[in-house]
Amino acid sequence: NENIYILGIETSCDDTSAAVLKGRKVLTNIVSSQKIHANWGGVVPELASRAHHQSIVPVVDLALRQAGIDKYQLSAIAYTRGPGLMGSLLVGATFARAMGLGLGIPVIPVHHMEAHILAHFIDDPDMHSPEFPFLCLTVSGGHTQLVLVNGFLDMKVIGQTTDDAAGEAFDKIAKILGLPYPGGPLIDKLAQHGNPHAFRFARPEVPGFDYSFSGLKTSVLYTLEKFQKEDPDFIKKHLNDISASVQQAIVDTLLKKVKLALDETKCKHLAVAGGVSANSGLRKALSSLAESMGVSLYVPKPSYCTDNGAMIAIAGYYYYTSDTMRTSFLNPVARWQV
What is the footprint of ligand KG4 within residues 124-153 (CB under 6 A)? 140-142
Q: Which residue is nearest to ligand KG4 (CB)?
A: 275
Q: What count of other Cβ atoms lies within 10 Å of the Cβ of residue 307?
A: 27
* Closest distance of CB 285 from ligand KG4, Å: 12
Minimum CB distance to Zn ion, residue 73 (Å): 28
Q: Contacts with Zn ion in 95-124 (CB under 5 A)?
A: none
CB of 277 to Zn ion, least distance (A): 10
Rounded CA-CA distance 185/171 in Å is 9
Beta carbon of residue 115, minimum distance to ligand KG4 (angstroms, whole number): 10
Concatenated DSSP letters of 53-93:
HHHHHHHHHHHHHHHT--GGG--EEEEEEESS-HHHHHHHH
Is 184 annotated as a binding-site member?
yes
Size of the residue set binding Zn ion (CB under 5 A): 2
216 binds ligand KG4 (CB under 6 A): no
Pick left, alpha or beta for residue 171 (phi over 0 → left; psi -120 to 50 → alpha; otherwise beta): alpha
By C-beta, is 100 or 275 nearer to ligand KG4? 275
Q: Which residue number, 76 or 117, has a Cβ lying nearer to Zn ion?
A: 117
Cβ pair 297, 7 in contact under 8 A = no
Nearest-approach distance from CB 303 to ligand KG4, in angstroms: 11
The secondary element (H helix, E strand) that includes residue 188 is helix 184-191
Q: Is 129 annotated as a binding residue?
A: no
The dihedrals phi and psi of 68, each to the nearest 5 degrees, come to 70, 30
142 versus 159: smaller Cβ distance to ligand KG4? 142
Residue 138 marked as a ligand binder: yes
Burial 251-268 (b: 16+ CB within 10 A, else e): bebbbebbeebbeeeebe
Q: What is the C-alpha separation between 30 and 140, in angstroms, rounded?
A: 20
In the bound state with Zn ion, the residue whose beta carbon lies nearer, of 164 and 307, is: 307
306 binds ligand KG4 (CB under 6 A): yes
> 319 with 153: CB under 8 angstroms?
yes
Comparing CA positions, the residue from 121, 124, 106, 18 lying closest to residue 62 is 18
Report the run of H or E that residue 262 belongs to, with start and end: helix 239-265
Can you tell me which of 41, 87, 182, 332 binds ligand KG4, judged by CB under 6 A? 182
Question: Interface with Zn ion includes 10 (CB under 5 A)?
Answer: no
Widest Cα–Cα separation across the chain: 67
Q: In angstroms, rounded to a whole number, what is the distance separating the alpha carbons of residues 153 and 115? A: 10
Residue 82 near ligand KG4 by CB under 6 A:
no
Q: Which is nearer to ligand KG4, 248 or 279 (CB)?
A: 279
Size of the residue set binding ligand KG4 (CB under 6 A) = 18
Cβ closest to Zn ion, residue 215 vs residue 275: 275
Give the C-alpha separation, 295 to 287, whole Å: 9
- Among the candidate windows 52-60, 90-98, 140-148, 281-289, which touches Zn ion by CB under 5 A? 140-148
Q: In what order do the strands lie in the sheet with 269-273?
A: 154-160, 144-151, 134-139, 269-273, 296-298
245 contacts ligand KG4 (rule: CB under 6 A): no
Task: Identify the residue among 185, 194, 215, 300 touching ligand KG4 (CB under 6 A).
Answer: 185
Residues in touch with Zn ion (CB under 5 A): 140, 307
Residues in touch with ligand KG4 (CB under 6 A): 13, 140-142, 167, 170-171, 182, 184-185, 188, 274-276, 278-279, 306-307
Binding residues for substrate: 138-142, 171, 184, 188, 279
